[in-house]
Structure formats: C-alpha cells, structure tokens
Amino acid sequence: MTTMPNIELARAATAGAAEKAATKIVARDVNVYYGDKHALHDVSIDIPEKAVTAFIGPSGCGKSTFLRCINRMNDTIPICRVSGRIEIDGRDIYDRSLDPVQLRARVGMVFQKPNPFPKSIYENVAYGPRIHGLTSSKAELDEIVIMSLKRAGLYEEVKDRLGAPGTGLSGGQQQRLCIARAIAVNPEVILMDEPCSALDPIATAKIEGLIDELRENYTIVIVTHSMQQAARVSQRTAFFHLGRLVEEGPTEQIFTAPQDKRTQDYITGRFG
C-alpha cells in the first residue's frame, strides 16, 4: 500500500508542463455551510487550464462540496450557503448577474453513479445542445452527437443502436455516455465526482484513458477516493481534510514529498 503512488508518477511528471499553463479557476476563502454545519473552511486554490486537477481526501472532507461549488450545484440544496469568491476566467461565478444555468453549460459535470436519462442514447447526448439552442438543424445535431460520442470513446460500441435506451448500457458505457452528454454542450470545465467509483477495473481504465485525452481540450477537476487514480490521471493534486484544503501542488510533489504531516499520513494509508 505504502509504495503504491510511485509506480505511476512517471506519466504524471511528463505532463508537469501544465503547471505553467494559465489559471482557469481561482478560488479564494470559500466557506460552505449546510445549515449550522460548517462544511468547508477558507479554501483557496488555483486550478490550471487544460489540465487534470484531482481532489483527494477521506470521506466527508469537503472535496465533493467544493467541486459542487464550481458549477453552483450547491444552489439546489436549500440549506446550503456559500461565501468567498470563485472566479472562472476572472469572472466571479457567484456574481448576481451571472445565471447559474448558463454557468453549468460552461462547467459540465459527471457524477459518481452513472445517471443517463431513461431515454435513447441519442437523446441523452442531444438533450444539452437542444436546450441551449446550439444547433439549427437535425444534421448539425447529429454531427454533435456523433462527435461527442466519439470523443467519449463510445461511438464504436453504440453506433448501431443510437435509438436504444441509455440505461441499457453497461456501467462503464453509461458513464462514458454521461461524459459524452457533458461534452456535447462544449463546456470549458468538466467536473467529475468520483466517476469510477461504481465501475470495474477495465471500465475504470477506459475512463482514465479518456480523461487523459480530454485534458487537451478541457479543464478537468476530478474528485477521487483512489490515490492510484489521482496519481495516474492528474497533474495537480489537492488534499482535503476535515473541511480544509491541507495541501495543494503538482501531483508528483504531493505523492513523493508532501509538506504536511496529514497528507503524508493519508497517502501512506495511516488513516482514511
């Protein structure tokens, strides 16, 4: 267990150049409260563009909560209150004039459990472009659907049955369908909330490969419980603990030379 992260670090290191990339998301002093519970304390982080940033940490540490702040999904929880500042491309997303629905079109999300709509594969992918009016003709929509499915690496498997229900696919295929659905609206950022936790190792490997390809075009933030996964797919890693951001930095540094005692304890498996 303890030596695990080193195996995959070579690949992460090759992508280390991303560190120099422009900052896409800036968070400053973000606090989240669920009613009386203070769930997230003063989180400040810079997330680079066109790179994969992984959030790791034990259950209940606030990493998913922070992820959901980035596309304002927490707004849907009535008792949830967010303070602080989150900017995407320099624009405050909690600004009054900003429409959260518009924001979510720019910041896509993939959830822990694959959640395709109980509709056809085609409809699943076409829904986003349709509600945002991204296409003017059926042909254009077809193109977007096929392109999104191709990018999600699902097209070859489902091209003969685009009319079949999305819920009839296997778990890994469903999750890739959800990714295709997210990228169909052409977002800038994709948030992934433990996207592989419900999948078997082979499906996980496919998704990880896909994430690696997607980072060429998208800024990706991924929450994961698996440290191997964080090591394999991310360029930067942030470690959350008890609602605080403990440490953040290039993945190789977090896994090889953590600054904080708690990070070290966590990645060596002493708690969590």
Judged by CB under 8 A, which of 71, 175, 219, 234 binds another protein? 71
CA-nearest of 111, 119, 89, 59 to 243 is 59
- In angstroms, what is the minimal distance from the CB of 10 to another protein? 30
Total of residues contacting another protein (CB under 8 A): 29
> In angstroms, rounded to a whole number, what is the distance separating the alpha carbons of residues 258 and 253?
6
Judged by CB under 8 A, which of 37, 113, 161, 261 binds another protein? 113
Judged by CB under 8 A, which of 35, 60, 118, 163 binds another protein? 118
Q: Give the ranges where 185-268 is alpha helix by DSSP (H).
A: 201-214, 227-233, 251-256, 261-267
Name the residue nearer to another protein (CB basis): 51 or 109.
109
* Segment near another protein (CB under 8 A); pick from 55-63, 128-136, 144-152, 155-163: 128-136
DSSP 22-75: PEEEEEEEEEEEETTEEEEEEEEEEEETTSEEEEE-STTSSHHHHHHHHTTGGG
* Segment near another protein (CB under 8 A); pick from 70-78, 140-148, 238-246, 259-267: 70-78
- In angstroms, what is the minimal distance from the CB of 115 to another protein? 4
Strand, coil or helix: 80: strand
Q: Going by DSSP bridges, is the β-strand pair 23-34/52-56 parallel, antiparallel, or unpaired?
A: unpaired
Judged by CB under 8 A, which of 13, 84, 127, 226 binds another protein? 127
> In angstroms, rounded to a whole number, what is the distance separating the alpha carbons of residues 187 and 195?
17
209 in contact with another protein (CB under 8 A): no
Judged by CB under 8 A, which of 50, 85, 132, 225 binds another protein? 132
* Segment near another protein (CB under 8 A); pick from 17-25, 36-44, 105-113, 262-270: 105-113
Q: Going by DSSP bridges, is the β-strand pair 244-250/236-241 parallel, antiparallel, or unpaired?
A: antiparallel
Asked whether 215 and 209 are in contact (CB, 8 A), the reply is no
**Between vectors from CA 100 to CA 95 and to CA 106, what angle results, nearest 5°?**
105
Binding site for another protein (CB under 8 A): 71, 73, 76, 78, 101-106, 108-111, 113, 115-118, 127-128, 131-132, 167, 178, 181-182, 184-185
